[in-house]
């Protein structure tokens, strides 16, 4: 079932060119970042911030290799013939997603020689190499699948999602910028249980996000944070699985909304389908 998807990706000149460019860019980025950090000598372990660079690169590569391909997939009306074939829509998206994840894995593994050399000469510990490969891949997969699900959702869901994101940004700005050192005093105004939950939530978000966990791993001051890494990666795999399942369930619905429902313009005084002749000025005024 999956062989045609991988064969098509291997035979497509455009996708192969993108893959080669990504591999070269990934290797050059890690090489330049390692050389720059070694020149700075700002820490006893000079490559301590290499994890942040690798993680950001993985997120960008996941968005490009997984998200972009899956988002553009329903725009082709040729997909309609595949949707009515024995290969059901869920399998179509699963095959394309696995191809994108495989390409992301190849790009991530392309940085292994740079990391292995850094570990061989003593700039990294040997135990630092697996997290530097695993975490960029998993969070790149989450980014690509998350962008896909966001594009596949209906207009109403995306609107509520935008409102939720704006609310989270406002909370972050209020807590991080306006509250600052006064956060403790603000929490004293509410009940002890609510203050404890809020404090633990802020601390958990600060300490157990992927950037903080990877930085603590590379610092290795008090031993490797195995539990934090295992819990974080387990949660990341579960989120990626949920996003993949949601995208598989929304492919056919998004395709129908994209091609068979009239596009609606929300500008002006009256909602109207795109392509419909606008009302005369006297009709709008009346």
Query: Does the pLDDT at position 177 exceed 90?
Result: no
The fraction of the chain above a pLDDT of 90, given in percent, is: 38
Instruction: Collect all residues with Cβ–Cβ distance below 8 Å to 9 and sequence separation of at least 6.
Output: 15, 99, 103
280 or 252, greater pLDDT: 252
What is the rounded (10 degree) CA torsion for 227, 232, 238, 239?
A: 170
160 or 1, greater pLDDT: 160
- State residue 262's pLDDT score: 61
Contact 67, 147 (CB under 8 A): yes
- State residue 139's pLDDT score: 95
Rounded to an integer, the average pLDDT of 207-213 is 88
Query: Does the pLDDT at position 5 exceed 90?
Result: no
Instruction: Collect all residues with Cβ–Cβ distance below 8 Å to 172 and sequence separation of at least 6.
Output: none
Model confidence pLDDT, tens digit, residues 73-125: 888 777 777 666 666 788 888 999 999 999 999 999 999 999 999 888 888 88
Distance CA 200, CA 227 (A): 18
CA nearest to 131, candidates 50, 14, 252 = 50
Distances (CA, A) of 74 to 97, 152, 179: 13, 9, 45
Q: Where are the domains of the chain?
A: 3-258
Eight-state DSSP code of residue 124: S
Q: Is 274 helix (H, G, I), strand (E, B) or coil?
A: coil
- State residue 243's pLDDT score: 95
- State residue 276's pLDDT score: 46
Rounded to an integer, the average pLDDT of 185-213 is 75
């Amino acid at each position: 079932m999956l062989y045609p998807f991988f064969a098509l990706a291997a035979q497509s000149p455009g996708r192969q060119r993108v893959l080669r460019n990504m591999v070269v860019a990934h290797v050059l980025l890690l090489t330049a970042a390692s050389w720059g950090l070694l020149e700075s000598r700002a820490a006893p372990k000079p490559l301590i911030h290499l994890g942040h660079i690798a993680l950001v690169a993985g997120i960008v590569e996941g968005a490009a290799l997984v998200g972009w391909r899956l988002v553009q997939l329903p725009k082709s009306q040729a997909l309609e013939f595949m949707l009515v074939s024995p290969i059901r829509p869920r399998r179509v998206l699963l095959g394309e997603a696995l191809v994108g994840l495989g390409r992301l894995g190849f790009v991530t593994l392309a940085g292994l020689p740079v990391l292995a050399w850094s570990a061989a000469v003593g700039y990294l510990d040997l135990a630092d190499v697996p997290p530097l490969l695993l975490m960029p891949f998993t969070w790149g997969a989450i980014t690509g699948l998350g962008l896909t699900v966001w594009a596949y959702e209906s207009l109403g869901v995306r609107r509520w999602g935008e409102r939720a994101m704006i609310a989270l940004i406002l909370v972050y700005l209020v807590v991080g910028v306006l509250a600052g050192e006064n956060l403790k005093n603000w929490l004293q105004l509410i009940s002890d249980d609510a203050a404890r939950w809020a404090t633990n939530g802020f601390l958990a978000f600060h300490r157990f996000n992927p950037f903080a966990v990877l930085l603590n791993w590379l610092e290795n001051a008090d031993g490797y944070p195995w539990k934090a890494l295992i819990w974080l990666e387990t949660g990341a795999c579960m989120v990626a699985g949920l996003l993949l399942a949601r995208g598989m369930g929304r492919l056919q619905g998004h395709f129908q909304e994209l091609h068979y429902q009239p596009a609606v313009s929300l500008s002006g005084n009256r909602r109207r389908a795109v392509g419909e002749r606008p009302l005369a000025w006297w009709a709008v005024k009346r």
